[in-house]
Amino acid sequence: MPISENKARSLRGELYHAFTPELVAERRRCARACTAYNKAEGITRRQQVELWKDIVGDTTPLPPRKEDSTEDADEELLASYAWVEAPFHADYGTNVRLGEGVFINFNCTIIDTCLVSIGARSLLAPNVSLYSGTHPLDPDLRDGTNGPESGKPITIEEDVWIGGNVVVCPGVTIGRGSTVGAGSVVTKVSCDVCFQCGQVC
């Protein structure tokens, strides 16, 4: 399905308007999918993965359950899929990419104006926020809901551990194997296998 030029600008990190009918509808779709995921109780691992796929708009079929298999055996079949604890919140969902074996703990928020990718085997502690969206610094241009917005991609590479209550800002890449200490605000690109900690790092 072709997308509008306004949405294309958002994905390219250019100024765009977020309150068009197209983008409002996409955010509402994601909100409904997140609500279904967050309210689900007593579900199987397969049902959990299917609900997650609804959030991110992934239509790829899951591997079929083997005949007469137990729940444990079926979970093993799905072992490579990311595990995301509820509650989880995203803006669009369709710009979120998770690698194999990713674990995201409670209360993660992803503002996925642009692509937000999390590499294989990475771990996110509770209350992590990934913000790929941003606003103009000029208040006259910002203009509340009437003004434009923009964004920059966030890339978390493989084998990263992000501590609790971390905020990752637009345009950040966190290098492979790195650790980010709890409570940090990450504003800069990091090298591979490094440790970051602090209010602004």
- Which CATH number characterizes residue 40's domain? 2.160.10.10
Give domain status of residue 35, yes or no: yes
pLDDT of residue 196: 75
163 falls within a domain:
yes
| pLDDT per residue as tens, the chain (201 positions) | 578 999 999 999 999 999 999 999 999 999 999 999 999 999 999 999 999 999 999 999 999 998 888 999 999 999 999 999 999 999 999 999 999 999 999 999 999 999 999 999 999 999 999 999 999 999 999 999 999 999 999 999 999 999 999 999 999 999 999 999 999 999 987 777 777 776 665
Structural domain boundaries enclosing 79: 5-61+73-186
Q: Total structural domains in the chain? A: 1
Asked whether residue 197 is assigned to any structural domain, the reply reads: no
Active site residue 135: yes
Catalytic residue among 17, 46, 135, 152: 135
99 close to 121: Cβ distance less than 8 angstroms: yes
Does 56 fall in a domain?
yes
pTM: 0.93
Say what the pLDDT of residue 21 is. 95
